[in-house]
Structure 1
Amino acid sequence: MTSFHYGSIALELTIKIQYSFFMRQIVNTTNGNYDILQIQEVPDLEPANDEILIQVKASGLNFADILARKGQYQDAPDKPCVMGYEVSGVIKDVGSGVNKDWIGKEVVAITRFGGQAEQVVVKQSQIHEKPDRLSFEEAATLPVNYLTAWVLLVVMGGLREDESVLIHNAGGGMGLAQLDIAKHIGATTFGTSSQQKHDFLSDRGLDHPIDYRNNDWYSELMNLTNDRGVELVTDPLGGKHWKQSYKALRSTGRLGMFGISTASSDSGGLKATFNLLKTVVGMPFYHPIPLLNKNNGVFGVNLGHLWHEPDKASLWMKEILEGVEEGWINPHVDTTFSFDDVGDAHRYIEERKNIGKVILVP
């Protein structure tokens, strides 16, 4: 009887292991430093009627994820939460209302959080087939960086062949995405970055690298343009930096704002709140009359606030994927980190070591 009892327990455990499936995800447990990022297991996801289940092969890491970890990103979900706006992977299952022909296809998807996990469920409008010439890691760079860059330069920036653009942080993933698009348009490109990234950026086609750490970027830009400035400046810095960027505009110039990275601090709490307030106080106020008199424009881009425009996002993504097939969009992955090393990935970006995109892989 004793032998049978143990055998029954073993059989029961075998059955549970065989039919209980779990997936891993990166969880922001609270606000704080790298140690608040934990890998947790949860039951496998199941798609609802109109959803698609993706087995994630690569997930993008963005500066917004870092701000969210610190509690400095207002759009982040309540903690604990799983961040992640973009993935690439293979469709594992679909809901009853979705064509089963999607199962097994390699796709890229934009996600409204939840992307830094081994599985994610999305609507069909959020996915596109992955270009064959891109790896999963390269494909995961497309949804956030290239969509934002497309809106900044093409949709709202209206950049033309006979114009010039200043790209701040040209060496990051967003900067390289903008550079690909600006080169395709035929515009003259200026870009700020640390000196160590200049050779790489020149090889990628940047016309005028500017060392913002050892020089005053505004003075150097004005020298390079004979004090005329440029038609478009894209600025993710925020605060008082927007004043300088606005000053750098030529007549009919536009300032595109898409972040306030200077509001980030090394920790959360009161210091983070104070840093944010200081950044907000330093922001300029754009009155309509000076804009009229100077023939300038100012606009902002926040991809996370465009979820109510899926048709537009799908159209923009289609044009980006066409650029991939035509060869003028070439995503660059700086490095990849495993889920287990997500803290190191956050640190790598915060120390501005990356040239291009940082990717997380399960």
Structure 2
Amino acid sequence: MRQIVNTSIGGYEVLEVQEVPDLEPDSNEIIINVKASGLNFADILARKGQYPDGPSKPCVMGYEVSGVVDSVGDQVDDKWLDKEVVATTRFKGQAEQVAVREAQLFEKPDRLSFKEAAALPVNYLTAHILIQVMGSLGSYESILIHNVGGGVGIAALDIAKHIGATTYGTSSKRKHKFLTERGLDYAIDYRNKDWYEELMELTDGKGVELITDPLGGKEWKRSYKALRATGRLGMFGISSASEGTTGGIGAMWSMLKMVVQMPFFHPLSLLEKNRGVFGVNLGHLWHEPEKAKIWMNDILKGVEDGWVNPHVDATFSFDNVGEAHQYIEERKNIGKVILTP
């Protein structure tokens, strides 16, 4: 089989498609022939050496796949054989075959293509935890979704609209028409305007009850400042750390600069302002498979009911993985970017 290998830290040239032997299942494993793999911003950070949870190089990244079950171990129910499935993967998802445990596996919804199904796990699980599990967004409340045009952003918009909350979102101007048609109430052009000032003007200086923020650094300070009383800030990424870097010393310096700019949330300040802050890291939830299964089943129910609609913006072959990384880094995508063998 073929797989995408991060051979070292660096630019797009460090990504190679390599041939390795086909997988054989252990007694409790399931082998999937992959039809589509998700590409996420964490993959970009890992390539640049800015993702502390990433495996040592050389490595194969990838957290989500869809495909068809090829074989199962002798301790696994053979009902899974030949089924169309979607699965979470702890790395190694960007390959023609993956090995997973049964707890990581779900039947693919019939109404979704393989590409759409591969857009579900990371984006929608992250958004679900941010908004429903930890953010507790109510229908009478409002939410600011940073990078609303990205994969997690679109997922967050689907969920917030289903709840009935008022939605604000930051994105480049060219994405506004799509996002408005998708249901976004207020689009903010963060590139040409100050998003904080725009949000304050739109909310008559009150702010919003929930903010989902993947930016990091000093933007977390501004997001916290934009919270209304009883507001919550959900932090789930540091995407701005990668801007203008290709890896190595430059990437490490950018990361250090961002860490220095990060705010410290003192308990007394939280008490005085009636605000809350929390973080979401999907990669640190592998020890909670029971919860993850409940959350994923909630998302799949949303697919069945018609309000979860993953949007695949672009598809790249494994051989063009460098172009896929560049596409995301240049913020061209609206929704999900998918890799196919």
Deviations 1:133-184 (A, max 9, x none): 0000000011100000000000000000000000000001110000000000
> Which residue number corresponds to residue 244 of structure 1?
222
Secondary structure at 2:297 match in 1: helix
5 Å-filtered alignment, 1:221-232, equals 221-232=199-210
1:257-302 C-alpha deviation (Å, 9 max, x unpaired): 0001111142222111111111000000000001001000000000
CA distance in 2, matches of 1:195, 1:241: 20
Q: CA deviation at 1:101?
A: 1.4
* 1:224-248 superposed Cα distances (whole Å, 9 cap, x missing partner): 0000000000000000000000000
Q: Report the counterpart of residue 32 of structure 2 in structure 1.
A: 54
> Matched residues in 2 for 1:28 and 1:312: separation?
31
For residues 319 and 272 of structure 1, the distance between their equivalents in structure 2, rounded to whole angstroms, comes to 38
Q: List structure 1 runs of 4+ shifted beyond 2 angstroms.
A: none
Report what 1:347 is aligned to: 326
Name stretches of at least 5 consecutive residues in structure 2 with no aligned partner. none
- Aligned-partner Cα distance in 1 for 2:250–2:317: 30
Identity rate, percent: 72
Quote the residue 2:105 is aligned against. 127
Structure 1 counterpart of 2:221, one-letter code? K
- Which of 258, 276, 285 in structure 2 is aligned with 1:306? 285
Mapped pair 1:267 → 2:246:
yes
2:11 aligns with one of 33, 45, 60: 33
Q: In structure 2, what is the Cα distance between the partners aligned to 1:250 and 1:138?
A: 35
Match in the other structure for 1:217: 195
Does the residue aligned with 2:20 lie in a helix, a strand or coil? strand
Aligned equivalents of 2:165, 2:282: Cα separation in 1:
24
Q: Matches of 2:249 and 2:311 in 1, distance apart?
A: 37
- C-alpha deviation, 1:71, in angstroms: 1.0
2:116 aligned with 1:138: yes
The CA distance in 2 between the partners of 1:111 and 1:168, in whole Å, is 26
Residue in structure 2 matched with residue 295 of structure 1 by the alignment: 274
Q: Tell me which amino acid in the other structure corresponds to 2:290.
A: D
In structure 2, distance between residues paired with 1:311 and 1:126: 10
1:324 aligned to which of 296, 303, 321: 303
| 1:277 matches 2:260 | no
TM-score, length-scaled by structure 2: 0.99
Higher relative contact order, structure no. (Cα contacts within 8 Å, ≥ 6 residues apart): 2
Question: Using the alignment, how far apart are the partners of 1:147 and 1:94 within structure 2?
Answer: 26
1:19-168 map, 5 Å: 23-168=1-146
Supply the distance in 2 between the matched residues of 1:194 and 1:142 (Cα, whole angstroms): 24
Q: State how many pairs are aligned.
A: 340
TM-score, normalisation: structure 1: 0.93
CA RMSD of aligned residues (A): 0.5
Counterpart CA distance in 2 for 1:333 and 1:326 is: 19
Counterpart CA distance in 1 for 2:154 and 2:249 is 34
Deviates more, 1:240-249 or 1:259-268: 259-268
- What's 1:334 paired with? 313
The CA distance in 2 between the partners of 1:359 and 1:268, in whole Å, is 23
Separation of aligned partners in 1, 2:158 and 2:140 = 16
Given that 2:49 and 2:252 are in contact with CA atoms closer than 8 Å, whether structure 1 keeps it comes out as: no
